[in-house]
Chain A
């Protein structure tokens, strides 16, 4: 399945709804479906946050299943941004000192079996894989 959505919150909702329906069609186990949708929410909300100056662009999503492997790609033509370069958060601070920056990417790393970023032909390309 491929789809293009605007770099807005409405675009994220459209993408997650479509990915949820795709997961059901592919009979993905619930655990994989939840991890996949969580990872997509983190990645897409990152794209939207980093594209504040240009909301006119689109995010392209491609996802497919080949037997026991789900393979997804998220690409956009916004400024170069490597979400995986964000430092890991401090998860030990108390309530007052707790900062959440980097937490979304930590969840993506934990909830995918493989994740990779590359800048290719003036586009950001994030690849994620899940074993089913």
Chain B
């Protein structure tokens, strides 16, 4: 899995590309959990280039959310496609995450914490 990353106003924006499924979620998990080890991590996960996400990917997002909260950081997701959003909804994940329409809004949301 390709994962691109950039820093915007002290927020790390991570943009995975392709499927987030049982074959790729390990790579994404290692990448994100490594980022969450910094003090008060501020992370945005940008789903623009994500084709779809299965329950293996949801598990990664849940673990990340707990780590970031425990580290008193901030986490937001952005640019979820229709199928990805549907998966989050079916899983009852929408109330657990800050989900924004664009990268800029998500970066602002996390930066303000």
Contacts and interface: CB of A to CB of B under 8 A. Distances in A.
A45 B21 CA distance: 9
B7 interface: no
Interface size range of chain B in the complex: 20 to 34
Interface string B48-64: 00011111101100100
Interface in A40-75: 41-42, 44-45, 48
B51 A98 contact: no
A95 to B, nearest CB: 5
Main secondary structure of the interface of B (DSSP, over half): helix
A104 to B, nearest CB: 4
B39 interface: no
B30 interface: no
A38 B54 contact: yes
Nearest to B92: A91
Interface string B30-68: 000000000000000000000111111011001001100
Contacts of A34: 51-52, 83
A49 B104 CA distance: 39
B69 interface: yes
Given A35-B83, A38-B87, A100 B62 contact: yes
B58 A16 contact: no
Contacts of B55: 42, 100, 103-104, 107
Contacts of B58: 100, 103
Interface in B60-113: 62, 65-66, 69, 82-83, 86-87, 90-92, 96
Find the residue from A13, A31, A38, A98 having the highest chain B CB count within 10 A. Answer: A38
8 contacts: A9-B22, A38-B52, A38-B53, A41-B21, A41-B23, A91-B90, A92-B92, A95-B69
